[in-house]
Amino acid sequence: MASLQHVFRRGHIFWWRRVHYSFHTKPIDVRLSLGTPDRLQARNRGAVLTASYDRVVSMLNDRIRANGGMTERELQAIAKAMYEERLAEVCTEQRATPDDAEYHLATNRAFVDYFQRLTSRGGHMSFLPEEQSALEAQGWDAQRIADLQTVIALRENKGVNPIRKDEIDRHLAAAGFAIDDRLRWMVELALYPTYRDVYADAEKQLRTLVDPVDEAEAPLPTSTATPVPANDISATGAGSVSVVPPAWAHCGPVEAAERMIAETPKLLDHRRQGKRARESVDEHTLRQILWAATLLQKSLPSGTPLWKVTKADILKLDEYFDRLPVHYGKSPRHRGVAQTLEEAVALAEEDVAAKKLKADRIGFSTGTTNKHFHKLAQVHAFMRSQVPSAPVIDFSEFTTAIDEDEREARKRYTREQGVALFRLPPWTGCAGTGDRLEQGEIVIHDGLFYLLLLVWYTGARREELCKLMIEDVEHRHGIDYLLIRATDAGRVKNKSARRVNVIADELVRLGFLRYVDAMRVAGERLLFPELVPGGDTKRKLGDVFYKLWWIYIAPKLPNLEPGQAMHSARHMVSDELKDQEVFLEFRNDHLGHRGKGGEGETRYPSAASLQRLKSVVEKIPIVTGHLLEQRVITLLPADLRKPRPTRRAGQGNDTVT
């Protein structure tokens, strides 16, 4: 029946057939029986139907248009115009940044997968575990699935839709349609395979730009139900890459750490002096985060972005940790990224060979490396929240449990060390305000005299004591105590740290309450104003004490072990109370530890609670029995009870600001 257009025979009867393409998702197959076995009659009847078909279709289209619809031909015309626009946009952008070819190739393939998924499913659907299992069964690798999930997440989590509503509206208006949601939906359905073809064709254009090859040798992605894997870029000679937002494409570890600090609420710097200061992270922690990121960046090839870092890179960093000197990072010249870790290791090896550095001073401790990996895990997790397809790295594989007895690991002070400490000149008599560590006849009462006594007889944290204000010393129910709380002078570590510390009788004997009264009469607000950091530094009062006094006192203690610092007195108190069978709840209340002891005491403690805490304090060993009772208080001169001058870089010892 080739000579009879649109007519065919089924058995002995002739039929007429036309396929009508409308706005529906599937074409309409129209078949009518011509009711005759005669060939001539079938031809005539078929010709009449064919001649009438265009008028019928025109009438149908007019009705569709009157109801706000559009014909398939009009729909395809819009889709074709949008194909040309998007292809030109994508190709122009990718030609403008040829150095990012790896990124563009991976992006194109991910979008091919994305729009093919929309085409086969008829719209947007969440990516469920069942779908992932099905794709894995089809042979998709983890990277290809991750790239697809990243593009899906752009719309679901960030509201970024690759199909732009404003573009659809513009084309509908240009075609003369009144814009409504149904027409938008029709155009969007047509754009699924259209945009799939855009990114497949963009890949072809990109390949001819960066690596012109014969098409027969390098097959290109096609618009099929099984597109080229999103991570298969072997033709470029590069490794697997992820769909990475442009803002993160070249972001190194240090920049990523800075972004995390800037964007994470608990790291916001502006809270430091406000009412929410206790929720912020201190400057020391921020320095640790940045230093860990710097170490990683110094171990990588120059320009390596964080999203490209793999487990192998972290393993290499871990190897460097065993070859770096323990003091690496203490000097400001170490902190920059100019010197690589390979160069630092070479210099350390030269120093060991020249006997400038002992061999046992090579290699970071377990505690130090654990800290670095914990900080890197935070930064990497923040980066992956923005780049979900970046390689997953389990940093816990690189941390090591400290295989020591709990008490040995905490490096507590012995009673003998306590006695030796308080036999030094600041407590027995010094040469004067300018020679506090030289033996003499003068006893001066200030932060140097009382702070270490407070640390020993309270077990409180260094900063908790350094920031004490006059109003933090209270008397109630016949008992004197300290309020450990957030004030204008500083915050506390956490909620459990807000508490009451009863003042030991030995501190009273050594004149602490007389000192408080003398400072109040002198018009001071802080107990130790000379520890306030000078200039615009962000150091805490405890840091000032450490730099001003502790680094010079520590070497004078007998049998001082690595790891023993001011905090070791806190461990001593904890261990002593445990040895004397003080209930855990009471120890937590006194020390401000998290645990079964609750949240500690705050304002207006009851008589019973104070009596309980006083009985706890009485169990702390006395190591100052050799010191005389301090009946006369000698304060620092007024001109010394103020922030100490700070030197600027490059200034001499006599120049202060």
What is the dihedral sign for C-alpha 42, 47, 49, 53? Answer: positive
What pLDDT band is residue 499 in, cutting at 50, 70 and 90?
confident
Q: Burial code of 215-234, b = ≥16 C-beta within 10 A, e = fewer? A: eeeeebbebeeebbbbbebe
3-class SS of residue 124:
coil
Cα–chain-centroid distance for residue 164? Answer: 31
Q: Tokens for 415?
A: 């009673």
- pLDDT confidence of 433, banded at 50, 70, 90? confident
Which contiguous run of DSSP H or E holds residue 447?
Answer: helix 447-458
Q: What is the pLDDT of residues 183-195, one digit of tens each?
A: 888 899 999 999 9
Q: Are 498 and 592 in contact (CB under 8 A)?
A: yes
Distance CA 176, CA 349 (A): 78
User: Would the pLDDT of 513 be above 90?
Assistant: yes
d(CA 424, CA 436): 10
Provide the H-helix boundaries in 67-164.
72-96, 101-121, 129-137, 142-156
Kindly indicate the confidence band of residue 495, based on its pLDDT and cuts at 50, 70 and 90. low
Task: Calculate the alpha carbon distances from 175 to 87, 178, 183 in Å.
Answer: 21, 9, 12
Quick check: 70 pLDDT over 50? yes
Q: Above 70 in pLDDT, residue 445? A: yes
- Does the pLDDT of residue 437 top 50, yes or no? yes
Helix axes 311-321, 341-353, angle to 10 degrees: 20
Q: What is the mean pLDDT of residues 522-543?
A: 82
Distance CA 32, CA 53 (A): 12
pLDDT classification of 279: cutoffs 50, 70, 90: very low
* Over residues 153-166, mean pLDDT: 83
pLDDT of residue 218: 43
Q: What is the pLDDT of residue 587?
A: 56
Percent of the chain at pLDDT exceeding 90 = 18
pLDDT at 515 over 70: yes
Report residue 446 CA to chain centroid gap: 41
Residues 6+ apart with CB under 8 A from 53: 18
- Read off the pLDDT band of 419 (50, 70, 90): confident
Three-state secondary structure call for residue 502: strand
Whether residue 445 contacts residue 630, with contact meaning beta carbons closer than 8 Å, is answered with yes
For residue 26, give the DSSP letter: S
**114/568 Cα distance (integer angstroms):** 58
Q: Which of 241, 186, 195 is nearest to 80 (CA)?
A: 195
Contact 479, 614 (CB under 8 A): yes
For residue 140, which amino acid is it?
Answer: W
Higher pLDDT, 280 or 49: 49
Please report the pLDDT score of residue 429 as a whole number: 92
Mean pLDDT, rounded, for 618-645: 86
User: Chain-centre distance of CA 186, in angstroms?
Assistant: 42
pLDDT computed for residue 26 by the predictor: 54
List the beta bridge partners of residue 416: none
Span 329-379, pLDDT tens digits: 877 677 777 788 898 888 888 888 888 888 888 888 888 899 999 999 999
Whether pLDDT at 275 is above 70: no
Alpha-carbon gap, residue 438 to 613, rounded angstroms: 37
- Give 229-239 pLDDT, tens digit per residue: 333 333 333 33
SS3 label, residue 632: coil
* pLDDT (average), residues 633-638: 91
Query: Where residue 319 falls among pLDDT bands split at 50, 70, 90?
Result: very high
Give residue 46's pLDDT band: very low, low, confident or very high (50, 70, 90): confident
Partners of 18 in the beta sheet? 30
Residue 592 to residue 585: CA distance in whole angstroms? 10
User: Are 42 and 143 contacting, i.e. CB atoms less than 8 angstroms apart?
Assistant: no
* Res. 588: pLDDT tops 70: no
Residue 443 has pLDDT above 90, yes or no: yes
SS3 373: helix
Task: State whether residue 150 is helix, strand or coil.
Answer: helix
CA distances 208 to 88, 101, 524, 630, Å, are 15, 11, 76, 88
575 sits in the region (left: phi over 0; alpha: psi -120 to 50; else beta) called alpha
pLDDT for residue 68 is more than 70: no
Does pLDDT of 654 surpass 80?
Answer: no
Q: Which two tokens stand for residue 596?
A: 């079964």
608 or 453, which is more confident?
A: 453
> How far is 473 from 517, CA to CA, in rounded Å?
10
Helices within 392-439 (DSSP H only):
406-410, 415-421, 425-428
Lowest average pLDDT, out of 255-269, 500-514, 632-646, goes to 255-269
pLDDT higher than threshold 70 for residue 644: no
Average the pLDDT over 492-521 and give the result.
Answer: 85
Which residue has tokens 């002070």? 413
Domain boundaries, the chain: 7-66, 72-241, 247-403, 411-640
What confidence category does residue 52 fall into, taking pLDDT thresholds of 50, 70 and 90?
A: confident
Single-letter amino acid, residue 322: D
Coil, strand or helix at 14:
strand
- The alpha-helical segments, DSSP class H, found in 354-405 are 366-386
Who wins on pLDDT, 558 or 288?
Answer: 288
Q: Which comes out higher in pLDDT, residue 273 or 360?
A: 360
Is the pLDDT at 95 greater than 60? The verdict is yes
Mean pLDDT of the residues in the chain:
78
Residue 5 has pLDDT above 90, yes or no: no
DSSP-H helix ranges across 175-282: 181-210, 253-263
Share of the chain above pLDDT 70, in %: 74
- The SS3 of residue 16 is strand
If you ran DSSP here, which 8-state letter would residue 622 be given?
P
Q: Does domain 411-640 have CATH number 1.10.3720.10?
A: no
pLDDT, average across residues 380-396: 86
Residue bearing the bigger pLDDT, 224 or 565: 565
What is the token pair recorded at 198?
A: 């855009």
Q: What is the pLDDT of residue 440?
A: 92
Q: How far is CA 569 from CA 295, 513, 622, in A?
A: 32, 22, 13
Looking at the chain, the number of H-run helices and the number of E-run strands are 25, 8
**pLDDT for res 220:** 44
What integer pLDDT is reported at residue 452 of this predicted model?
A: 87
Burial status of residue 654 (CB atoms within 10 A of its CB: 0-12, 13-18, 19 or more)? exposed
Per DSSP, 490 falls in state B
Least confident of 310-314, 431-435, 581-585: 581-585
pLDDT for residue 487: 77
Task: Tell me the pTM.
Answer: 0.48
Q: So what's the pLDDT on residue 565? A: 62
Strongest mean pLDDT among 119-133, 485-499, 546-560? 119-133
Q: Which residue has the higher pLDDT, 597 or 138?
A: 138
Q: What is the mean pLDDT of residues 601-626?
A: 74
pLDDT at 514 > cutoff 90: yes
Report the greatest alpha carbon distance in the chain. 136
Rounded CA gap, 141 and 2, in Å?
A: 50
Query: What pLDDT, on a 0 to 100 scale, did the predictor assign at position 562?
Result: 61
